[in-house]
Structure 1
Amino acid sequence: MPEDPREALRRICLALPEVSERLSHGEPAWFVREKKTLATYADHHHDDRVAFWCPAPAGVQEELVAEDPARFFRPPYVGHRGWLGVRLDVDVDWAEVTEIVTDAYRLVAPKSLAARLTGPI
């Protein structure tokens, strides 16, 4: 049986320096230093998908959505700011999810924390 996607995402997020978890809008969310949002889990939140949303480097959202709209999407509310939606109710490449979350961390974490990342988590 495949792993619970929420637990897998939780493990990836909490492996990063100074990341904590709390509910936000009724869903699990992860924050850097309890302030900056790193990722939000979306279990049928506004649609029929199980996914997560996170900030993405400039242009990445458009590139991934165009490349594979079955796995990536522009999430409501934050998509206009470049956030990426990543489906977790399809065949998930967890190495890719780890890379996406790590890139999001580098965007929102203070430079001193982001500098701690030297390789894969």
Structure 2
Amino acid sequence: MTDTLSRLREIALLLPDVEERESHGQPTFFVAGKQFAQFRDDHHGDGRVVVCVKTSGEDEQAMLLDAAPDTYSKPAYLGPSGWVAIDLSGDADWTLVEDRVARSWELAAPRALLEAGGR
């Protein structure tokens, strides 16, 4: 877990104006006070290691879940808001994780930050 969280932390903290703090007992990443990524390790005993990220909405969420069910799942609590969980166990695709975390950051970041150049 520590190596996985460290790697995720490196990805998230490279993005502008990111703050990490615990939310609901989980390491969570925020931009301008808005959550955009949450690390979960055995959340409520599910035995999984994932990062939860925002999508543009239910259509994108459904497309990702259908296209890659071994990679994406609907996370507890955040799923109804269009979030997906990305499996970080085994041989995770870290290029995909980096892209999805950055996209989630873009969806949460304030317009002024995006207009200033964002990432």
CA distance in 1, matches of 2:70, 2:88: 11
Cα deviation for residue 114 of structure 1 reads 2.2
More helix per residue: 1 or 2? 2
Aligned positions of 1:1-121 closer than 5 A:
4-33=3-32, 35-46=33-44, 47-58=46-57, 59-115=59-115, 116-117=117-118
| C-alpha separation in 2, matches of 1:23 and 1:5 | 17
Report the RMSD for the aligned CA atoms in angstroms.
1.5
**Aligned amino acid, residue 43 of structure 1:** D
TM-score using structure 1 length = 0.88
Extract structure 1 runs of 4+ deviating beyond 6 A. none
Deviations along 1:41-89, one digit per CA (max 9) or x if unpaired, are: 0001121100011111122221111112111100011101100111101
- Aligned length, in residue pairs: 115
Q: Which runs of 5+ in 2 are unaligned?
A: none
TM-score using structure 2 length? 0.89
Do the aligned partners of 1:57 and 1:103 also contact (CA within 8 Å) in 2? no
